[in-house]
Amino acid sequence: MATFRLGAIASIATRIPHQNVAKLQRINLVRRMATGAAPKKPTSTLGLAVKGMAIGALVGTGWSGYSYFKGGPTDHMLHEHVGPKVLDKLPDVKIMRKVVNPNDDSGLDLVLFQFQTCPFCCKVRAFLDHSGLSYSVVEVDAVLRQDIRWSDSKKVPILLAKTKSGKYVQLTDSSMIVSSISSFLRDKKQDIGELAKYYPSISYENDAGRKVFDIMNKYFLMYQEKKVDNRTKEEQEEERKWRAWADDHLVHLISPNVYRTKDEAMETFEWFSDVGEWGIHFPKWERDLMVYVGAFAMWGISKRLKRRHQLSDDVRSHIYDACDRWISEIEKKKTTFHGGSQPNLADLAVFGVLNSMEGCQAFKDCLENTKIGPWFYAVKERVLKNRGNVL
Ligand SMILES: N[C@@H](CCC(=O)N[C@@H](CS)C(=O)NCC(=O)O)C(=O)O
């Protein structure tokens, strides 16, 4: 079964001379199309996707699964290939807080549009904090989403980064954000606006005839000088593999686990409300609506998600397996982190996804029933140590 996603097959090396990128992309497209028609998705996909989108908008979590309901392995027929959007100035939005690191000498000027407990946003924050970067945060109202109305992307995270020309380039997709900023940090001579062009948004039609989107090269770092990455090719490949695993596998285990029962779903939404400060940002009736309606809806939807991802009723066993698999990978290396003595992008991706459920019973159960704890808290310590001051 041809199951790889376009972004994950992008190229064969991380060091891609600029002139070769377009060629590689053509090759990738050919490879992608050469995979032929993949098995059709069940017809319930569309209905589930629509419901998921609506509830996701309402409750503010917008779990990742829905993006995959709209596309994925069965997609074919490239339609468009669009570079990143560039804004002349920042949109008129309310910055809710800033993370300011006096040691940040990157020269970057970043604004993150996010939902606090979205696993993709957690991934991006883990990366930005671990990298010691300063950034501003716009907490997007998950119901009205007026703060991302200026954008063609309806999902968070979105990161706006100031380019050398003084304009702001829009980075969408958590993995693309991490790859493009990480590429920049390895070679600060590059312009973030130019780098972003190596991660075009592509759209194509899936078997159901629906237009779907993905980001090309999203797990690949782009830089000119080999010396800025002294890791072996295998190490780089491993990092990409596990970053993709976090997006394509781990993230799908979150909803079925944190909304497993009505009580757990309520508890989860109460936690979302606490960490997202919904009590401060929304009137009480709206907060309560989000918590009660959201919890009930997600409890129902998580059952369908469970079936879609072919999970057994014992959903905990799947997340325990995932934690075990990840930890055994690190144990094989006999290092503290997947990246060795320092977390790499795979550590930060897995940490970010798990971090999105840290306040939930599911996470407590993972701590009790797997060996994820020491690694998780070791990454957390590094992330918090490098993070700037939250103002
Ligand atoms: N592939 C995207 C997925 C982002 C995503 O699905 N975000 C959710 C929040 S967790 C969202 O905005 N959903 C709203 C929607 O689908 O309309 C990424 O990695 O950033």
Instruction: State the distance from the centre of ligand 1 to the C-alpha of 105, rounded, in angstroms.
Output: 30
Q: What length is written for the chain?
A: 391
Query: Which of these CATH numbers, 3.90.1300.10, 1.10.1740.10, 1.20.1050.10, 1.10.10.10, describes 232-383?
Result: 1.20.1050.10
Residue to mutate, 50, 51, 64, 259, ligand 1, most ligand atoms under 8 Å from C-beta: 64
The pair of three-digit structure tokens given for residue 119, joined into one six-digit string? 């696993």
pLDDT given for residue 203 in this prediction: 85
Pocket of ligand 1 (CB under 6 A): 53, 56-57, 61-64, 66-67, 115, 118, 120, 154-157, 173-175
Domain boundaries, the chain: 82-230, 232-383
pLDDT given for residue 79 in this prediction: 67
Instruction: State the distance from the centre of ligand 1 to the C-alpha of 177, rounded, in angstroms.
Output: 13
- What single DSSP character describes residue 337? B
pLDDT given for residue 78 in this prediction: 63
Question: Mapping DSSP to helix (H, G, I), strand (E, B) and coil, where does residue 100 land?
Answer: strand
Instruction: State the distance from the centre of ligand 1 to the C-alpha of 272, rounded, in angstroms.
Output: 16
Question: Mapping DSSP to helix (H, G, I), strand (E, B) and coil, where does residue 114 land?
Answer: strand
Which atom in ligand 1 lies closest to the alpha carbon of residue 123? 19
pLDDT given for residue 143 in this prediction: 65
- CA diameter of the chain: 56
Question: Mapping DSSP to helix (H, G, I), strand (E, B) and coil, where does residue 204 land?
Answer: strand
Residue to mutate, 50, 58, 156, ligand 1, most ligand atoms under 8 Å from C-beta: 156
- What single DSSP character describes residue 374? H
pLDDT given for residue 275 in this prediction: 87
Q: What is the CA radius of gyration of the chain?
A: 20
Q: How many CA within 13 A on the CB side of residue 66? A: 22
Mean pLDDT by 10 residues, the chain (391 residues): 30 35 36 30 33 38 36 54 90 92 96 92 98 94 80 93 96 97 94 95 81 91 82 94 97 96 94 87 84 91 92 96 98 96 98 96 97 98 96 91
Look at ligand 1, atom 13, and give the residue with the nearest C-alpha.
62
Query: Do 82-230 and 232-383 show the same overall fold?
Result: no
Contacts of 285 (CB under 8 A, 6+ apart): none
pLDDT given for residue 254 in this prediction: 95
Look at ligand 1, atom 1, and give the residue with the nearest C-alpha.
173
User: What's at 79, amino acid-wise?
Assistant: H
**CATH superfamily of the 82-230 domain:** Glutaredoxin (3.40.30.10)
Which atom in ligand 1 lies closest to the alpha carbon of residue 173? 20
Q: Tell me if 115 sits within 8 A of 142, measured CB to CB.
A: yes
pLDDT given for residue 77 in this prediction: 55
Its pTM stands at 0.81
Q: Tell me if 170 sits within 8 A of 146, measured CB to CB.
A: no
